C-alpha cells in the first residue's frame, strides 16, 4: 500500500506578449499566476509522497509579493513574426509513492518539445533501479505575430518569505 500523499505540486501554464522578450516573459508569468514571486529554479526530483496536478484545480502555493517560489519551469520566447515558442514539463512518479522525476524542455515546435520530454524521461528512468509509472506531460505554445511572445510551464513546489535583519 502506498503511503498517503501529503503535498500536491500544481502545474500551471502561461502565454505572454510584450514589446520586448523580457516583458513577454512577465506576461506569461502573470498569465500563469506567478508574476509576483522570485523564481528559484529546482532540478528534477519530485519529493516523496507528493502528487503532481496538471488539471489546474490544485491551488498555487500562497505567498506574498517578492517571496521565493521554488519551482521547475520551462520557458521559450520568440521575437520574429511566424516563429513559435513552446515550453513543456514532463514527469514520472515512482510506483511505491516515494517521489518522482521532472524534466523541462523548450523549443520552436510542439513536436520537438514533446519528443525531448519523452526522451529525457526515458533516460532518467533507465538510469535508476526504481520502478516508475507512465510518463506524463504538459505543453503550451504560441506563435509570434507582431510582438515578442513567451510560452511558460511552471511546476510550483512552495513559497518562502525573506528574513531581513534591521
State the DSSP string of 118-166.
HHHHHHHHHTSSS-B---EEEEEEEE-SSS-EEEEEEEEEEEE------
Judged against a pLDDT cut of 70, whether residue 63 lies above it is answered with yes
Average the pLDDT over 4-17 and give the result.
Answer: 89
Indicate whether 166 belongs to any domain.
Answer: no
pLDDT in tens, 73-127: 999 999 999 999 999 999 999 999 999 999 999 999 999 999 999 999 999 999 9
Output the domain CATH number for residue 133.
Answer: 3.50.20.10
- Percentage of the chain beyond pLDDT 90 is 91
- pLDDT for the residue 1: 47
Indicate whether 1 belongs to any domain.
Answer: no
List % helix, strand, coil for the chain (3-state, nearest 5). 15, 45, 40
Contact indicator for 107, 119 with CB cutoff of 8 Å: no
Contact indicator for 135, 91 with CB cutoff of 8 Å: yes
Indicate whether 165 belongs to any domain.
Answer: no
Average the pLDDT over 29-44 and give the result.
Answer: 96
Can you say how many angstroms the Cα of residue 41 is from the centroid of all Cα atoms in its chain? Answer: 10
Judged against a pLDDT cut of 90, whether residue 6 lies above it is answered with no
Indicate whether 3 belongs to any domain.
Answer: no
Indicate whether 91 belongs to any domain.
Answer: yes
Neighbouring residues of 18: CB distance < 8 A, sequence distance ≥ 6: 24, 25, 26, 27, 147, 148, 150
Indicate whether 109 belongs to any domain.
Answer: yes
Q: What domain range is 43 assigned to?
A: 8-160
Count of the separate structural domains present in the chain = 1
Indicate whether 120 belongs to any domain.
Answer: yes
- pLDDT for the residue 46: 95
Contact indicator for 150, 83 with CB cutoff of 8 Å: no
Contact indicator for 21, 148 with CB cutoff of 8 Å: yes
Average the pLDDT over 62-66 and give the result.
Answer: 95
Amino acid at each position: 500500500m502506498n503511503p498517503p500523499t501529503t503535498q500536491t505540486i500544481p502545474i500551471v501554464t502561461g502565454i505572454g506578449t510584450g514589446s520586448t522578450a523580457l516583458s513577454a516573459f512577465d506576461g506569461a508569468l502573470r498569465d500563469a499566476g506567478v508574476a509576483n514571486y522570485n523564481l528559484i529554479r529546482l532540478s528534477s526530483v519530485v519529493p516523496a509522497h507528493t502528487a503532481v496536478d496538471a488539471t489546474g484545480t490544485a491551488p498555487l502555493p500562497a505567498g506574498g509579493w517578492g517571496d521565493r517560489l521554488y519551482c521547475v519551469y520551462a520557458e521559450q520566447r520568440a521575437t520574429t513574426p511566424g516563429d513559435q515558442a513552446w515550453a513543456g514539463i514532463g514527469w514520472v512518479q515512482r510506483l511505491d509513492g516515494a517521489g518522482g522525476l521532472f524534466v523541462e524542455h523548450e523549443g520552436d515546435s510542439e513536436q520537438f518539445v514533446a519528443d525531448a520530454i519523452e526522451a529525457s524521461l526515458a533516460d532518467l528512468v533507465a538510469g535508476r533501479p526504481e520502478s516508475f509509472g507512465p510518463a506524463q506531460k504538459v505543453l503550451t505554445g504560441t506563435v509570434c505575430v507582431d510582438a515578442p511572445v513567451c510560452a511558460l510551464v511552471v511546476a510550483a513546489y512552495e513559497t518562502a518569505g525573506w528574513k531581513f535583519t534591521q
